[in-house]
Chains A and B, each alone.
Chain A
Amino acid sequence: MKSRLYSWEGLLLVTFLIIFAFNTITQPQFLTVSNQINMFQLSIEKLIVVLVMAFIIINAEIDLSVGSMMGLSACAFGWSFQHGLDPALAIVLCLAIGAAGGALNGFFVAYMGLPSLVVTLATLIGFRGLARVMVEDRGITNFPDWFDAIGQQGFIGPVPFALVCFVIMFAVAWIVLEHSGFGRKTYVIGSNRHVADFAGIHVRRHKLIIFTLAGVVSAFAGLLYAARVGAVRGDVANGFELDIITIVLLGGASIFGGSGTLVGTGLAILIVLNLRNGMSLHNVTGHLQTGVIGILLIASVLGPRLQWPRRLGAARQR
């Protein structure tokens, strides 16, 4: 029991509770249903991608192209809509683009043996380029009402569709990562891919699946974004990959792979959201908010490596 309290997740939980308590006490409108939903809704697309990013990072890879894929998917939807394609068909098309783009990353990483940092940096530029070519520098709006409604109205009571999706996906991701054979293989490959190879695990296929999944989920998140905002432009979701990776690392996943939990990731999500929301309610500017989140990340990456909280260091260092 003691080790659990001293674990990284334990520290995240305490941090979250402090921020939550502070927000509740200082801001009466914090603990209202509408504010809580709003808090999630504002970054819901990122949160959905965080879930697959956790798999990627635990697998000892990185995917920098997720933000661009979100943009590409949103723009492909806008372009298809403008060219008279049935919106339902356009959604399928976008998800297919996500799968193809993710598989492309996976193919180069798993079968060509290139570093994922390099491959996904290239596709970050490539996907974004495609998105910009599609819509050039105009915005596309006036989507069908039902599409906008998905992003802007309550789906179950006041809870929007995207948040319902997130909750379901979180549960699925948790079961898969921590209780399934697929999740087990994700950890083992991330910890030492040669050991996995020698144990007869199909390492390449596994990586291909994870990258493809990241592409599909990013495309889906891009569509949700288009629906919520009701418009797309070439720079949709620009730079989102950094926020997404930040949350996964804060959640305790090692950038070298093999460690991290979805519980930690979930707590990191709550911390970042509550911190940002609390600061907004206190009228702290966006730039300063970004600065604070940045400091948090530095602390989360460096803290465990310093001598001082030894047990935390032992818990996180590989």
Chain B
Amino acid sequence: MTQPTLALRSVSKSFGMTAALTDMTLELHPGEVHAIVGENGAGKSTMIKIMTGIYQPDTGGVEIDGTPVLLQGSKAARLRGVAAVYQEPMVFPDLDVTENIFISATGSLWLNKSAMRRAAIDLIAKIGMRLDVDRMASGLTLAEQQAVEIARALSQNVRVLIMDEPTASLSAHEAAELRRVARALADQGVAVVYISHRLEEIFQLADRVSVIRDGRHISTRLVTATTPQLMISEMVGRDVGNYFSKMQSTATQDVLLSVRNLGLAGIFEGIAFDLHRGEVFCMAGLIGARRTDVALAIFGITPANAGTIRYKGKHLHAKSPSDAMAAGIAYVCEDRRKLGLAMELPIRWNITLATLSRYLSRLGLVNTQAERHTAADFRKRLNIRTPDAEIPVGKLSGGNQQKVMLSKWLNMNPDLLIVDEPTRGIDIGAKAEVHDLIRQFAAQGGAVLVISSDLPEVLALGDRILVMREGIQMAILDHADASQERIMALATGQEKAA
């Protein structure tokens, strides 16, 4: 075996009383794609932060090329060739692609713009992307922004590239593109660390996979020597059934929401579907299919300007979220950080946010006793893992944040629950829990509209599936007629709208 480019040797790290990593050992070899899987809170982020010099280990150490090193800060790590690319890339919207790639050089007095531009073109070519280096970063797609970040890392002679859930927000096509880039980098001798919750892509891409759980290293295996079932059982520490099996439909004939010819000029048009009580109805499509815009129209954020919405048999035209909420519609948005949760405020505050008026006395004072009761109730019901409900919600892992967001809306007792990318970036255990919640909600007579880019999820949840493409409704498939291939064919326009 070759000398590992980077190795963790018995690394432990605690925060106060909580041990985030215990005796963690891991070797990254040049030219390999090394996948790391584990539930949220398993210690993956702490591990990345130690590799990139943001945290220092309490005990144990980091070796680069077999030599122990002290990585003090991310700059020190970058100088040694360790860089990370995150799910939400760091780009400067008002700079162009070239300037973004050479951002650390923009501090120097003399900039040779044309040389930088040529180098940027080379780097973009090296990762096999097609991207105009003169474009402003503000107009780039997420995938393109990630490419810029990777090119930036390459410009600094990266030897270990950590990709933290890079495909979580990408469409299937973009994700495939990114995996190709990761493979190309590995072929050039870079050690690629690939963190993902999408097990199927790990099997497509990785050479080796390490499972971590509760801050400990559980196993490292060749991908060819493991199975999804084995990985999942190691991740959760118990045997699990098939997570993505379709559950029994509970759909009734009772129409709750009826949308006809709904449109918003220049965004989407001609959307028409019925949603029944007890039904889970999915909207599938690529990024840019405008599925979220349909949800925002129903919820009253950006009302539609064509077509009709009937809800509980009555005409509904929500002009603001409070109109929609008064009618019993809840919308769990896709972007937890920007739109979903007030990250630095307590969990309890976030849970009661949409229902605050229920907790107010006649004088307008908040009944904290009742609030605590609600928070404790949801913490138990949804299995939110936290020491208490008074800490900022931003301190929780993604899966637990998602559960807090769901709690906020379930507390409203809505009739219609719209959930937008409900399991993006959360681990497989939490995913299954969220799916169960959605199913339970429908079984109790509610209707659910799920927007998801995760095809296995769409197939596992949807009683019926509406496929959209660029603002147009392509088809509504019954579960029996739906397959990943069929949905993709419609979403990419290979199969024409009926």
20 sample A-B contacts, Cβ–Cβ < 8 Å, listed by A number: A181-B356, A181-B357, A181-B359, A181-B365, A182-B364, A184-B366, A185-B356, A188-B345, A192-B338, A192-B341, A192-B342, A192-B343, A194-B338, A195-B353, A197-B301, A198-B340, A199-B353, A200-B320, A201-B356, A202-B322
Residue A215 at the B interface, CB < 8 A?
A: no
For residue B482, CB closer than 8 A to chain A, the reply is no
Chain B residues close to A by CB (< 8 Å) = 301, 320-322, 324-325, 331, 333, 338-345, 349, 353-354, 356-357, 359-360, 363-366, 408
With an 8 A cutoff between CB atoms, is A259 at the interface? yes
In the complex the two chains form, is A258's CB within 8 Å of B345's CB?
Answer: yes
Residue of A nearest to B337 (CB): A192
Residues of the B chain whose Cβ atoms lie less than 8 Å from the Cβ of A258:
342, 344-345
Chain A, Cβ-Cβ closest to B322: A200
- Chain A neighbourhood of B345, CB < 8 A: 187-188, 191, 258
Report the bound CA distance from A194 to B343 in whole Å.
12
- 5 shortest interchain CB distances as A-B pairs: A200-B322, A191-B342, A200-B321, A199-B354, A181-B360
| A23 to B360 CA separation, bound complex (whole angstroms) | 44
Residues from chain A with Cβ under 8 Å of B341 in the complex: 192, 195
Which A residues touch B325, using CB under 8 A? 200
Contacts of A196 in B (CB 8 A): 342, 353
Knowing A179-B365, A199-B408, A258-B345, the reply to whether A184 touches B356 (Cβ < 8 A) is yes
Are B366 and A181 in contact, CB atoms less than 8 angstroms apart? Answer: yes
For residue A192, which residues in chain B have a CB less than 8 angstroms away from its CB? 338, 341-343
A197 with B365: CB separation less than 8 A: no
Write the nearest CB–CB distance from A8 to chain B, whole angstroms. Answer: 14
Chain B residues in 8 Å Cβ range of A181? 356-357, 359-360, 364-366
**B342 contacts A195, C-beta separation under 8 Å:** yes
B contact residues around A201 at 8 Å (CB): 322, 353, 356
- Return chain B residues, CB-CB under 8 Å to A199: 321, 353-354, 408
Residues of chain A within 8 A of B331, CB atoms compared:
198
Min distance, Cβ A290 to any Cβ of chain B, angstroms: 33
Q: In chain B, what residue has the closest Cβ to A259?
A: B344
Residues of B within 8 A of A318 (CB): 344
Taking A198-B321, A198-B333 as contacts, is the C-beta distance between A179 and B342 under 8 angstroms?
no
* Interface bits A182-225 vs B (CB < 8 Å: 1, else 0): 10110110011011111111100000000000000000000000
A182 to B359 alpha-carbon distance, docked (Å): 12
A180 within 8 A of B: yes
Closest Cβ–Cβ distance, residue A261 to chain B (whole Å): 13
A 240-271 to B, binary, CB cutoff 8 A, 1 in contact else 0: 00000000000000000011000000000000
A133 interfacial contact with B, CB 8 Å: no
Q: How many A-B residue pairs have CB under 8 A?
A: 72
Q: Is the CB of A197 within 8 A of B321?
A: yes
SS of A interface (majority) = helix
Name the residue of chain A whose CB is nearest to the CB of B371: A184
13 new A-B pairs (CB below 8 Å) besides A184-B366, A187-B349, A200-B322? A180-B365, A181-B356, A181-B359, A181-B366, A191-B342, A191-B343, A191-B344, A192-B338, A194-B338, A198-B331, A199-B408, A202-B320, A318-B344
Is A175 an interface residue, CB under 8 A from the partner? yes
The reply to whether A175 and B321 contact each other, CB–CB distance below 8 Å, is: no
Please determine whether A179 and B344 come into contact, CB atoms closer than 8 angstroms: no
Q: Is the CB of B342 within 8 A of A188?
A: yes
Give, as a whole number of angstroms, the nearest-CB distance from A161 to chain B.
Answer: 26
List residues of chain B with CB within 8 A of the CB of A202.
320, 322
Nearest residue (CB) in B for A188 is: B342
Q: Considering only CB atoms, which chain B residue lies closest to A202 in the complex?
A: B322
- CB-CB under 8 A from B321, the residues of chain A are 197-200
Q: Complex: how many Å from CA A164 to CA B341?
A: 40
Partner of A188, one of B320, B349, B364, B365: B349
Taken together as a complex, chains A and B put the C-alpha atoms of A18 and B339 apart, in Å, by: 44
Q: Which single member of A180, A194, A198 contacts B366 (CB below 8 Å)? A: A180
Which residues in window 35-86 of A have CB below 8 A to B?
Answer: none
Q: Which residue of A lies closest to B323 (CB)?
A: A200
* Distance A202 CA – B353 CA, assembled complex (angstroms): 12
Of A175, A191, A192, A198, most buried by chain B (CB within 10 Å of CB) is: A198
Partner of B349, one of A175, A180, A184: A184
Distance between Cα atoms of A179 and B365 in the complex (Å): 6
For B364, give its contact among A180, A194, A197, A259 (CB under 8 Å): A180
In the assembled complex, the Cα of A258 lies from the Cα of B364 at a distance in Å of 20
| Residues of B close to A195: CB separation below 8 A | 339-342, 353
B301 and A198 within 8 A (CB): yes
**CB of B76, distance to nearest CB on chain A (Å):** 16
**Of all chain A residues, which has the CB nearest B359?**
A181
Contacts of B339 in A (CB 8 A): 194-195, 198
Contacts of B340 in A (CB 8 A): 195, 198
Please give, as numbers and ranges, the residues of chain A lying within 8 Å of B322 by CB-CB distance. 200-202
> What is the distance, in angstroms, from B421's C-beta to the closest C-beta of chain A?
15
- Report B294 CB to chain A, min CB distance, Å: 16
Which residues of B sit under 8 angstroms from A182, Cβ to Cβ?
Answer: 364
Q: Which residues of A lie under 8 Å from residue B354 when comparing CB positions?
A: 199-200
Q: Given the complex, which residues of A lie within 8 Å of B365, measured CB to CB?
A: 175, 179-181
Query: Which residues of the other chain, A, contact B359 by a CB distance below 8 angstroms?
Result: 181
CB-CB < 8 A to B353: which residues of A?
A: 188, 195-196, 199, 201
What residues on B are CB-neighbors of A200 within 8 Å?
Answer: 320-322, 324-325, 354
Q: How far, in angstroms, from A201 to B349 measured CA to CA in the complex?
A: 14
- Closest Cβ of chain A to B363, distance in Å, is 8
How far is A182 from B301 in the complex, measured between Cα atoms in Å? 22
CB contacts (< 8 Å) of A180 on chain B: these are 360, 363-366
Min distance, Cβ B444 to any Cβ of chain A, angstroms: 23
Which of B331, B343, B353 lies at the interface centre, i.e. has the most chain A CB atoms within 10 A of its CB?
Answer: B353
A195–B353 CA distance with the chains assembled, in angstroms: 9
- In the bound complex, how far is the Cα of B341 from the Cα of A194, in angstroms? 9
Closest to A197 in B: B321
Given known A-B contacts A192-B343, A258-B342, A179 and B366 have beta carbons under 8 A apart: yes
* Closest B residue by C-beta to A182: B364
**What residues on A are CB-neighbors of B333 within 8 Å?**
198
Distance from A201 Cβ to chain B, minimum over Cβ atoms (Å): 8
Nearest CB of chain B from residue A292's CB, rounded to whole Å: 32
Residue of chain A at shortest CB distance from B346: A187
**What's the Cα separation between A199 and B324 when bound, in Å?**
11
Docked complex Cα distance between A194 and B321 (Å): 11
Residues of A within 8 A of B364 (CB): 180-182
Most chain B CB within a 10 A radius of its CB, from A180, A181, A188, A196: A181
Q: Complex Cα distance A198/B412, Å?
A: 13
In Å, the complex CA distance between A143 and B239 comes to 86
Inter-chain contacts of B320 with A (CB < 8 A)? 200, 202
Assembly CA distance A6 to B322 (angstroms):
40
Contact partners of A187 in chain B: CB under 8 A: 342, 345, 349
In the bound assembly, the distance between CA atoms of A184 and B365 in angstroms comes to: 10
Q: Which residue of B lies closest to A175 (CB)?
A: B365
Determine how close the nearest CB of chain B comes to the CB of A106; give it in whole angstroms. 19
Q: Give the docked Cα–Cα distance between A198 and B359 (Å).
A: 19
**B356 contacts across to A, CB distance below 8 A:** 181, 184-185, 201
Chain A residue contacts of B343, Cβ below 8 A:
191-192
